[in-house]
Structure 1
């Protein structure tokens, strides 16, 4: 323990100082404080000017020694100007060791110097993790009686310093979005209260929820943030007493308005509170308000995390609630994954220049920018580009999301009602295409072939009873070695892929033709899947001997369903 005090050059009168029902008589309030607070074993730094040292230091030091302390005179100037005041500040900060427990007595000093002491303590507590155990003032002028019969209280004014700490903690929460200082400060104050034999159940519960809120905000958890905000709001309404921890209670009450726009409307007594949360416009507005709050504190990673999930939720609400009502059970991984994949596929189609609808283009652009920004920070900036904070970009994204609340969301993003298309290779065995047409019933054909094999397509379709089906042939430059021709076919047939992007289903047959044809078909199937097309992979099998197949190709084989690409 380290007592920091000062002495002046005035001749001090004996006074009986009282604290917490106990008394001690001495001319020096710091000595009474040492006895009444049980500071035996502590070191005592006494700030003295030259005149004060000559007048009073020796008797003060002797009484501090008798109280079991180790006094030390610390010469200081009188603080007549800014330079001297800063010198006193530096002297005090040099006296105290990091992590030390400090008690400050401000009874005997020039009236302006306690402000210097206070500034030094703010510095020491904030930057050197010094533990302030109390600030005390021997209020001689409040005493009663004359001469040696005079009695006066020792006042604890630590709460004034606590108000400054609470101001800092609240300011950090409001300006920077960091609630951890609030939690730490409340934890320390409650510890001191318990040490003094007091308890406050409401404040104890508040402490826990402030810490949980700090975690939820730091981890960017919109639902947990809303839950903890609701719990805190309910508890803060019960904080009526200012007696035990006035600084904490006053500061916490001021924090209440900060929680209003975040809180969820749920039954706080329910253990499974997340099951009560419904997805509706109000919930989207609440999450968007939280994203805006993060943006106001330049927390770009948090904004992008919230907006990414917000867009998934917005698409989910549009798809599941045609009449604008709430959506229940919306938080399952598989449920949300469907909408995330739909947005990723839309982004890929837009990247390939295959999106023409203006609403789809806008949604694709918004999703692309949000996910790109989110990925940059989520992967620690491990990218060739420099990660920067663009205030304009953040504000633009927030405005576009706000506009999307009232805009019509293009539901074609997740449910296509177009044609069924058969994509198949075709070699010299005509039965593959024949069976594909008969067994899948397509409205359109895309055939990967060679000019020689493709010449038989009209006859095959006639035999299948579907001569009117639209058919587009994609010829491989080398039917036997063209394993890498998928990229060329995508590049040269952009209009085709744009049309297929709107297909209801593309049935991809991986059998028939050459091995190179089968490989290219698989590559094209993967490309269509990335574009968001419903791809159905099948194999067409004819169990008859090869010679019989050649002699009579127009016999329907079997269709085997294969696993999806993912």
Structure 2
């Protein structure tokens, strides 16, 4: 079984001549090029068997000479191939060539492209590409002797076998943004140029970051590659591998990386904290979204688009320096976007949104729906496929708004028309009105004004509301949320929430007392706190503690209790 084969072609009427290696002018006379090549190669580079591809005539006239001349040098075998150049002949030639080589299971191949009909050289070249790429057989060299010099020099054209692989790798990068074929070539070249191994690792990271939609990680590795790779790579391709078009190949690579690179090097454990959110940074990230969409990577494209819109909202709120902190910065921005959609869905609140805000709200709802369906891998009743009409319509709408509006970094306020700075107190009022009294005074003592009140009451406790206001010396706008059945009227809650929604939506801040009244009143107070948060209103809940005996509380309710905050001020908008 041969471990190193020489593949050569034979023609008719060979002429005696002198040959030499291109880097050694010592001549070697021979009738046939493969004989000269075997004699000129160093022992460690000499194949131990020759496969000669011959037409029927060359098999009869030229092969016997080759067989005689190679005695004592190497074993030789003829492979008869057709002499035509139509598609059927070409297919038969390549089938014969591959079959003959595979039968010997070689580890290495050397090609001699000098003799035989002109198209033999091209077909052996193509067969060699196939065997190395898909047959896992290494091509040691590809020689061609230039016949118009004396002696005839053998040139190693191995670089021409490498060039298609580099072209394919760059084309794969261009078409699918996959740098793994390029990384593979760099690893293969690591033996001659060790530093290329590091570049291969970085290219793998770039592919991973692109496919996953990670703009910061991609930007970091792109900047590093562009800073450290171009010159060494060009030099290695040009000098070590003598690869044609080296400048153009590396130029295409540089062009791809430049679109994503960060402006400054990012090093150290906390490198992300050094990246400031600016319009330029958003534009850089938007380029990646465009690219992901263009290459059909919807999951990463829509996932990143979702995060991009949150970042855009963060920048609009003036929080660009801490933009990567989920709590409270990103969560607060996402909550404002969610609230915009909820207002757009509510007929009573929609009129307070301008047309641009309504369009943004529809876009955000569609985007989050698409993103969630993909990130949950379709685990929902609706179809998740671009050929499904409902999915496609929503996706088309998202892409249109992205390209026409969001991509241009619009100035759209997330605050609805009429949202003010006034504070709103939500409090149950039971048979003991001291709770509302203590809530008003307690907020004032804590330094918070109270401009309006939503009082949760029943028919029997309604008169207590005005009494508590008078005792606290408070005069402001108030609305009553009255239970017909304060103990078991669970079905009344949706209607009362609806009544409160406009007041909650217009508030600048909401304070919710969760003590006092019946259990049902307390549950409604909690529900209104959640509703206010869903409308992106800052909310702080608190309880009131009266340490006096129950009888004293009943006979003298007008004693201020202790206010206990349940939410930190920093978490109010989360």
TM-score by length of 1: 0.83
Decide whether the 8 Å contact of 1:539 with 1:559 is kept in 2: yes
Structure 1 residue 538 displacement after superposition = 0.8
Decide whether the 8 Å contact of 2:363 with 2:397 is kept in 1: no
Confirm or deny that 1:305 pairs with 2:308: no
Confirm or deny that 1:30 pairs with 2:34: yes
DSSP-derived class of the 1:532 partner: coil
Confirm or deny that 1:378 pairs with 2:375: yes
Q: How does 1:140-159 map to 2 (within 5 A)?
A: 141-144=147-150, 151-159=151-159
Decide whether the 8 Å contact of 2:113 with 2:143 is kept in 1: yes
Match of residue 324 from structure 1: none
C-alpha spacing 1:269/1:459, structure 2 compared with 1 (3 Å): closer
Decide whether the 8 Å contact of 2:424 with 2:509 is kept in 1: yes
Match of residue 74 from structure 1: 79
> CA offsets per residue over residues 327-352 of structure 1, 9 Å max, x none?
54544444434323433343444445
Match of residue 147 from structure 1: none
Decide whether the 8 Å contact of 1:183 with 1:214 is kept in 2: no
Confirm or deny that 1:224 pairs with 2:228: no
What is the alpha-carbon distance in structure 1 between the residues aligned to residue 122 and residue 361 of structure 2?
58
Structure 1 residue 95 displacement after superposition = 4.3
> CA offsets per residue over residues 379-421 of structure 1, 9 Å max, x none?
323333333345844641432454652x3231538x9743222
Structure 1 residue 283 displacement after superposition = 2.0
Match of residue 167 from structure 2: 167
Match of 1:278 among 270, 276, 279: 276
Confirm or deny that 1:45 pairs with 2:90: no
C-alpha spacing 1:478/1:204, structure 2 compared with 1 (3 Å): same
C-alpha spacing 1:185/1:532, structure 2 compared with 1 (3 Å): same
Q: Which runs of 5+ in 2 are unaligned?
A: 387-391, 444-448
C-alpha spacing 1:436/1:404, structure 2 compared with 1 (3 Å): farther
Q: How does 1:153-302 map to 2 (within 5 A)?
A: 153-191=153-191, 194=192, 199=193, 206-234=199-227, 235-236=229-230, 241=235, 242-245=238-241, 246-247=243-244, 248-267=246-265, 274=272, 276-302=274-300
Confirm or deny that 1:437 pairs with 2:440: yes
What is the alpha-carbon distance in structure 2 between the residues aligned to residue 126 and residue 132 of structure 1?
10
Decide whether the 8 Å contact of 1:17 with 1:23 is kept in 2: yes
Structure 1 residue 317 displacement after superposition = 2.1
Match of 2:117 among 105, 110, 115: 110
> CA offsets per residue over residues 29-72 of structure 1, 9 Å max, x none?
33444561635675543322222222233443466674455x44
What is the alpha-carbon distance in structure 2 between the residues aligned to residue 311 and residue 542 of structure 1?
47
What is the alpha-carbon distance in structure 2 between the residues aligned to residue 351 and residue 458 of structure 1?
35
> CA offsets per residue over residues 252-289 of structure 1, 9 Å max, x none?
12333333333332157888764553322222222222
What is the alpha-carbon distance in structure 2 between the residues aligned to residue 484 and residue 126 of structure 1?
71
DSSP-derived class of the 1:243 partner: helix
DSSP-derived class of the 2:239 partner: coil
Q: How does 1:498-517 map to 2 (within 5 A)?
A: 498-517=502-521
Decide whether the 8 Å contact of 2:544 with 2:562 is kept in 1: yes
Confirm or deny that 1:362 pairs with 2:370: no
Decide whether the 8 Å contact of 2:289 with 2:301 is kept in 1: yes
Match of 1:538 among 542, 558, 571: 542
C-alpha spacing 1:442/1:270, structure 2 compared with 1 (3 Å): closer
What is the alpha-carbon distance in structure 2 between the residues aligned to residue 208 and residue 153 of structure 1?
39
Q: Which moved more, 1:460-469 or 1:160-169?
A: 460-469
Match of residue 88 from structure 2: 83
Match of 1:92 among 79, 97, 100: 97
What is the alpha-carbon distance in structure 1 between the residues aligned to residue 68 and residue 480 of structure 2?
107
DSSP-derived class of the 2:507 partner: coil
Q: How does 1:287-436 map to 2 (within 5 A)?
A: 287-320=285-318, 327-328=320-321, 330-334=323-327, 335-352=329-346, 354-355=349-350, 356-358=352-354, 359-389=356-386, 392-393=396-397, 395-402=399-406, 404-405=408-409, 407-412=410-415, 417-436=420-439
Decide whether the 8 Å contact of 1:301 with 1:377 is kept in 2: yes
Structure 1 residue 558 displacement after superposition = 1.7
What is the alpha-carbon distance in structure 2 between the residues aligned to residue 101 and residue 109 of structure 1?
22
DSSP-derived class of the 1:320 partner: coil
Q: How does 1:2-41 map to 2 (within 5 A)?
A: 2-13=5-16, 15-18=18-21, 20-21=23-24, 26-34=30-38, 36=41, 38-39=44-45
C-alpha spacing 1:274/1:539, structure 2 compared with 1 (3 Å): closer
Structure 1 residue 546 displacement after superposition = 1.9
What is the alpha-carbon distance in structure 1 between the residues aligned to residue 261 and residue 415 of structure 2?
34
Decide whether the 8 Å contact of 2:213 with 2:288 is kept in 1: no
Over aligned residue pairs, what C-alpha RMSD do you find?
A: 3.4
Confirm or deny that 1:470 pairs with 2:466: no
What is the alpha-carbon distance in structure 1 between the residues aligned to residue 269 and residue 423 of structure 2?
48
> CA offsets per residue over residues 219-277 of structure 1, 9 Å max, x none?
32223333333344444267665333334444112333333333332157888764553
Decide whether the 8 Å contact of 1:421 with 1:442 is kept in 2: yes
Decide whether the 8 Å contact of 1:434 with 1:464 is kept in 2: yes
Confirm or deny that 1:54 pairs with 2:60: yes
TM-score by length of 2: 0.82
> CA offsets per residue over residues 126-150 of structure 1, 9 Å max, x none?
55555443322233x1441xxxxxx
Structure 1 residue 449 displacement after superposition = 3.0
Q: Which moved more, 1:535-544 or 1:342-351?
A: 342-351
What is the alpha-carbon distance in structure 2 between the residues aligned to residue 376 and residue 124 of structure 1?
44
Q: Which moved more, 1:436-445 or 1:126-135?
A: 126-135
Match of residue 452 from structure 1: 460
> CA offsets per residue over residues 342-373 of structure 1, 9 Å max, x none?
33343444445544312432333333333333
C-alpha spacing 1:124/1:398, structure 2 compared with 1 (3 Å): farther
What is the alpha-carbon distance in structure 1 between the residues aligned to residue 365 and residue 203 of structure 2?
35
